[in-house]
């Protein structure tokens, strides 16, 4: 029996325009009544997630900053932050990447150093608690994650330059033009295992939905992995046995959530 369902947002639960599917709050309420815990698992900041899920925020777990921060109700269950030395070294390394713009993400606020577009527009859309600051001055704050907007796309730019310069941190493509830098232990899979321990859940009692490589560990930690048809090809290769649900444009995850809540088979693509 499934007792926890975690889903990524962008590219998974949200539609291609980044909108919540109509009926999601009703589905979460229905899961709650069935005793199934819903977990919003995202690279987004906690403040933004709580605002996005405001009508049901007291009923769900938030796995923010790609697993570096977990919150339930008013309680912070877990944080995993980068040391000041690693943040400073990462900022220096990012300066060597053409078209790369770093964003320092603390548990409460995201700091940007420049106002380049479309970088700033994307920051303000996804990080509702944000501000401009000298990033080197902010490096001594608790940094959950450094999000890097790569104008050229990380696959052929920052991911070719940063790995040898930053061997002791985790670098993950998180979708589109974004790359995330965090502690090696900060990922959605490790966060999922912390939740499983806290709520006494077996892996087979957990389901997860994800579309990109920052969802890999979370999907691996759950006995019921699901991918939308629009998932990143490499992720599909790694989870060839996963259930494929309709795309985010077709509200595939919402349909699956309702099916699970109703005790029915999950619709497949």
Q: Transcribe 4-16 into DSSP letters.
A: EEEE-IIIIIS-T
Rounded CA-CA distance 40/191 in Å is: 12
Query: Where residue 175 falls among pLDDT bands split at 50, 70, 90?
Result: confident
Neighbouring residues of 111: CB distance < 8 A, sequence distance ≥ 6: 103, 104, 130, 131, 132, 133, 135, 138
Which domains are assigned to the chain? 4-79+186-261 (3.40.50.1000), 84-182 (3.30.1240.10)
Q: What is the pLDDT of residues 190-217, one digit of tens each?
A: 999 999 999 999 999 999 999 998 899 9
Q: What is the pLDDT of residues 210-268, one digit of tens each?
A: 999 889 999 999 999 999 999 999 999 999 889 999 999 999 999 999 999 999 999 99
Report the predicted TM-score, pTM, of the whole model to 2 decimal places: 0.87
| CB distance 207 to 6 below 8 Å | yes
Cα separations in angstroms, 225 against 19, 39, 133, 176: 23, 14, 40, 22
Q: What is the pLDDT of residues 121-155, one digit of tens each?
A: 999 988 999 999 999 999 999 999 999 999 999 99
Q: What is the pLDDT of residues 20-34, one digit of tens each?
A: 999 999 999 999 999
| CB distance 235 to 209 below 8 Å | no
Q: What is the pLDDT of residues 66-118, one digit of tens each?
A: 999 999 988 999 999 999 999 999 999 999 999 999 999 999 999 999 999 99
Rounded CA-CA distance 67/50 in Å is: 15
């Amino acid at each position: 029996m499934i007792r926890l369902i975690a889903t990524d947002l962008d590219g998974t639960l949200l539609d291609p325009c980044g909108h919540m599917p109509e009926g999601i709050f009703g589905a979460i309420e229905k899961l709650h009544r069935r005793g199934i815990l819903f977990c919003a698992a995202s690279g987004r900041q906690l403040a933004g997630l709580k605002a996005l899920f405001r009508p049901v925020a007291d009923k769900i777990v938030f796995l923010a900053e790609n697993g570096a921060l977990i919150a339930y109700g008013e309680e912070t269950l877990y944080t995993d932050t980068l040391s000041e030395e690693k943040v400073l070294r990462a900022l220096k390394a990012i300066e060597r990447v053409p078209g790369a713009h770093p964003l320092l993400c603390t548990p409460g606020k995201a700091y940007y150093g420049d106002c380049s577009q479309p970088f700033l527009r994307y920051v303000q859309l996804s990080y509702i608690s944000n501000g401009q600051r000298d990033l080197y001055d902010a490096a001594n704050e608790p940094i959950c994650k450094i999000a890097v907007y790569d104008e050229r796309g990380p696959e052929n730019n920052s991911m070719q330059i940063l790995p040898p310069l930053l061997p002791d941190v985790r670098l993950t493509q998180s979708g589109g033009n974004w790359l995330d830098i965090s502690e090696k232990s900060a990922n959605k899979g490790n966060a999922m295992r912390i939740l499983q321990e806290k709520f006494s859940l077996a892996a087979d009692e957990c389901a997860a939905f994800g579309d990109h490589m920052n969802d890999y560990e979370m999907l691996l930690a759950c006995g019921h992995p699901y991918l939308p048809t629009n998932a990143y090809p490499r992720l599909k290769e790694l989870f060839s046995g996963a259930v494929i649900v309709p795309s985010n444009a077709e509200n595939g995850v919402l349909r699956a959530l309702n099916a699970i809540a109703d005790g029915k088979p999950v619709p497949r693509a």
